[in-house]
Every structure is written in structure tokens, then in C-alpha cells.
């Protein structure tokens, strides 16, 4: 963040966004670093290409300059944005450092904000954007589809995420923290508008569709992961059915095993759990538990939990 007046040609860029043309006296312009390609505290980085794309997406986007709930939120607007390498600067893993550098303006009436910029208090920026790809550093696949976990080590290699293919940049704002060395960027990701959703939508559209090789790979990964989840679900479902059979032996002794099988076959997991609950209530009637025993004055059995875990 630099203290800076309007530079040559910038007024024209600002006036693209205003209803009535502003003069140099009406506005205050400043520089802000929105994000970069270094691995941040969330173990995420933007790819170099993502920064190029974000430069286009952030032009004209407004940001909140004041998070004080007592005052009306003030906004600044980005009027120029570019990605740039910084000479002789490298990321923590030794790549040439690249950042997203923006110029923004506020009305010159925002004296408090301008003062806080000039004193260096407002340093940290949070951005809101959507990305299509979150690439795992270990295997190069989408982190939501691969077995690796961000922050874990795999044979001495730390798993981090590269954010790629941004689809939308919708906000930025200053985070109320005191100036600090190596102030980072906090990101809020909103996956709405994620293209993976569109792949799914297209898949279920009922119409003929063409998918790219990359989309086919994603669909195959999703399918594989769903199959695994379905297998796990089946194990869980079977355990519920077994529990129902055990409880029914007490609560519904006249019901045949066949009828029971027919009944449980078409029930969802939620319905199976409901059935277990009502069978447990019924079993409690058949096999009195502690309150009734206690009422009978048999205090020695009040800690008897034998029937609780049938
Ligand atoms: Zn992975």
C-alpha cells in the first residue's frame, strides 16, 4: 500500500465507473496488493495463470473499506488491476514471485479511511472469488477428488493447494488488523458458480451433451468416490437392519423373519433409524428399565444397565 495521488491517465479510468465525471479533487487513489502466488497461511496459492485471469475479473469490483458495524460501510472501487512479477523476489518454495496489483479510489470525503491508509493501518486485504480448480500439490488432481489432505506430509512433501481457473471475483475488503510484517491475504471462497456444478447439471439435463476429457476425468473420479461412499453406506444400513432384527425379537415376537425382511428392504436409513427408536421404546415396555424398578423400591437395581444396550 503506497500513499499515492492520482497518476497520469488514471482519472479517465476512474471516470469509466462514475455517473458524473470526477476531478482530481474529488477522489483519492491508492494501491493495494490483492493476492499473490506464494503459499499462504491456509496452505493455498494462486497459480500464475489464475492471477492473470483475476486481474481482468477484479477491474471495477468494489471493496468495503470499513468494517465498523456502527458506520455505514464505505466502498472503494478498483479501476485498474494487473498481475506482475516482482524482480528478485521469490515464493517460499523458490518460484518467481507474482502478485495481483490494483489501483482503487474512494471519494476524497472519506477522511478517516484515507488517514488510516496513509498511516499504514489498513494493510490486510481479504478477497472473495470463485475458482474452478483446487489442485493438490502431491498428485495434481482436484483436492476434493483425491485422497490427500491439505497440511499433511506425504514422504516429506507438504500437501498444499493451488487455486486455478477463477470464474468470478465479487468483492474485496480491508481486514481490521494492525499493520504487520508479511501481512497476508485472507480469502473467502464461495463455490457457487463453480463449473463442476455445471458439469453435474449437464449430466442430468436429459439432453445430449459433450464433455471435455478433463470433465470426463472429473466425472469418473466423482463416480469412483460415490461408489466407495455407497459401499460404506451399505455396511451401515446392514448394521441397522441387524439391530432391528434383534429388537424385533423382543418387541414384535410374532412377526416372521420374511415380513421383517420385506419391511426393512424399502426403508431409507432415516426411516430405519426411526424404526429402531420406536422398537427401543416398545422394548422398554416389554423389558422394564430402571425407573420402573426404582419405583418398586428396588434401589440395588437402579444402576442396572443390562437392558440398555440390547
Ligand atoms: Zn492429491
Estimate the crossing angle of helix 213-251 against helix 257-265, to 10 degrees: 150
Give the rounded distance of the alpha carbon of 254 from its chain centre: 52
What is the residue extent of each domain of the chain? Answer: 10-203, 213-301
Q: If you measure from the C-alpha of residue 63 to the centroid of ligand 1, how many angstroms do you get, rounded to a whole number?
A: 34
Q: If you measure from the C-alpha of residue 148 to the centroid of ligand 1, how many angstroms do you get, rounded to a whole number?
A: 4
Q: What are the pLDDT digits (tens) for 7-65?
A: 889 999 999 988 889 888 889 888 888 989 998 888 899 999 999 999 999 999 988 87
Q: What are the pLDDT digits (tens) for 49-104?
A: 999 999 999 999 988 876 555 555 568 899 999 999 999 999 988 999 999 999 99
Q: If you measure from the C-alpha of residue 136 to the centroid of ligand 1, how many angstroms do you get, rounded to a whole number?
A: 5
* Arithmetic mean of pLDDT, 192-209: 67
User: What does the pLDDT read at residue 239?
Assistant: 92
Cα–Cα distance, 164 to 154 (Å, whole number): 22
- List the grid coordinates of 289: 428399565
Q: If you measure from the C-alpha of residue 147 to the centroid of ligand 1, how many angstroms do you get, rounded to a whole number?
A: 6
Taking the whole predicted model, whether its pTM rises above 0.75 is answered as no
Cα–Cα distance, 222 to 207 (Å, whole number): 20
Going from the C-alpha of 241 to that of each of 28, 146, 207, 285, 287, the distances in angstroms are 69, 32, 39, 21, 21
Per-residue pLDDT at 293 exceeds 60: no
Q: If you measure from the C-alpha of residue 291 to the centroid of ligand 1, how many angstroms do you get, rounded to a whole number?
A: 54
Q: What is the DSSP letter of 43?
A: S
Q: If you measure from the C-alpha of residue 170 to the centroid of ligand 1, how many angstroms do you get, rounded to a whole number?
A: 28
Give the rounded distance of the alpha carbon of 87 from its chain centre: 33
Per-residue pLDDT at 155 exceeds 80: yes
What value does the mean pLDDT of the chain take? 80
Amino acid at each position: 500500500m503506497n500513499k499515492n495521488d492520482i497518476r497520469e491517465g488514471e482519472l479517465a479510468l476512474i471516470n469509466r465507473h462514475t455517473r458524473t465525471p470526477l476531478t482530481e479533487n474529488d477522489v483519492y487513489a491508492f494501491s493495494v496488493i490483492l493476492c499473490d502466488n506464494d503459499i499462504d497461511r491456509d496452505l493455498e496459492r494462486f497459480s500464475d495463470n489464475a492471477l492473470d485471469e483475476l486481474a481482468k475479473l477484479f477491474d471495477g469490483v468494489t471493496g468495503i473499506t470499513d468494517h465498523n458495524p456502527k458506520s455505514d460501510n464505505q466502498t472503494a472501487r478498483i479501476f485498474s488491476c494487473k498481475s506482475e512479477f516482482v524482480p528478485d523476489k521469490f515464493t517460499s518454495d523458490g518460484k518467481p514471485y507474482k502478485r495481483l496489483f490494483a489501483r482503487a479510489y474512494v471519494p476524497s470525503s472519506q477522511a478517516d479511511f484515507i488517514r488510516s491508509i496513509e498511516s499504514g493501518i489498513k494493510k490486510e486485504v481479504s478477497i472473495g472469488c470463485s475458482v474452478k480448480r483446487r489442485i493438490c500439490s502431491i498428485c495434481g488432481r482436484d483436492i476434493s477428488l483425491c485422497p490427500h489432505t491439505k497440511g499433511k506430509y506425504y514422504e516429506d512433501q507438504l500437501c498444499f493447494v493451488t487455486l486455478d481457473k477463477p470464474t468470478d471475483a465479487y468483492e474485496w475488503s480491508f481486514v481490521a488488523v494492525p499493520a504487520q510484517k508479511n501481512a497476508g491475504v485472507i480469502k473467502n471462497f464461495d463455490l457457487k458458480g463453480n463449473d463442476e456444478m455445471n458439469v453435474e447439471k449437464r449430466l442430468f439435463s436429459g439432453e445430449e451433451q459433450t464433455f471435455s476429457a478433463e470433465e470426463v476425468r472429473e466425472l469418473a473420479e466423482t463416480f469412483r468416490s460415490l461408489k466407495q461412499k455407497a459401499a460404506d453406506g451399505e455396511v451401515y444400513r446392514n448394521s441397522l437392519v441387524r439391530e432391528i432384527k434383534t429388537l424385533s425379537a423382543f418387541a414384535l415376537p410374532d412377526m416372521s423373519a420374511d415380513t421383517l425382511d420385506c419391511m426393512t428392504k424399502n426403508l431409507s436409513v432415516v426411516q430405519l433409524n426411526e424404526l429402531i427408536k420406536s422398537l427401543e421404546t416398545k422394548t422398554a415396555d416389554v423389558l422394564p428399565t430402571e425407573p420402573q424398578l426404582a419405583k418398586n423400591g428396588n434401589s440395588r437395581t437402579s444402576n442396572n444397565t443390562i437392558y440398555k444396550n440390547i
